[in-house]
Structure formats: C-alpha cells, structure tokens
Amino acid sequence: MATALPAGSGVLDSATVQRIVDRLVSLHFLANAADAQDPDLLTQAIREFQANAGISPSGTLDRDTVGRLTTP
C-alpha cells in the first residue's frame, strides 16, 4: 500500500510511515489505513492531529509531528 505523504513532509522510511498511519487510525483521525492513500484525507488527518496536540496545523509531517506520532 502506498501512502500519499503531504508535500513538504520530507522523506520517511516505510516503517515510520506505517507507525504514523497506524497511530492516526488508532486515534481516530483516519477511519482506516487505506485512507492514507488519499493525500487530502491524510493531510486533513495530520492537521487535525496537530491542532489537537497544540502544533501549528500545517498538514505536513514536520519533526515535532513525527516525533509525537511515533512515540508511544
């Protein structure tokens, strides 16, 4: 399954991307992992996560966002 990372998100290894998608699903920002294939749905999920976490909601996977999504 390909994940459509938002523009400006940089390069992430597939294991990190899978952890991010799994976390967004578990937190109910995405309905399921397949939604990560849609760039608009993924960007919106990232924005909503960022807003909830007190991060400026850019919709990109910046260092702070990746850190919070990959740390249990």
**28 pLDDT higher than 90:** yes
Query: pTM (2 decimals)?
Result: 0.85
Number of C-alpha atoms within 13 angstroms, CB side, residue 60?
8
64 within some domain: yes
Residue 20: closest CA among 59, 48, 61: 61
Q: Is residue 2 part of a domain?
A: no
Give a yes or no: residue 58 inside a domain. Answer: yes
| Residue 4 placed within a domain | no
Per the structure, the complete domain to which residue 49 belongs is given by 14-70
Please, which pLDDT band fits residue 19 given cuts at 50, 70 and 90?
A: very high
Count the domains in the chain. 1
- Integer CA distances (angstroms), 51 to 1, 41, 54, 57, in order: 27, 15, 5, 5
Helix (H) or strand (E) holding 18: helix 14-26
Q: Does the residue 59 lie in any domain?
A: yes
Domain membership flag for residue 29:
yes
User: Is residue 9 domain-resident?
Assistant: no
- Per-residue pLDDT, 4: 61
Has residue 3 been placed in a domain?
no
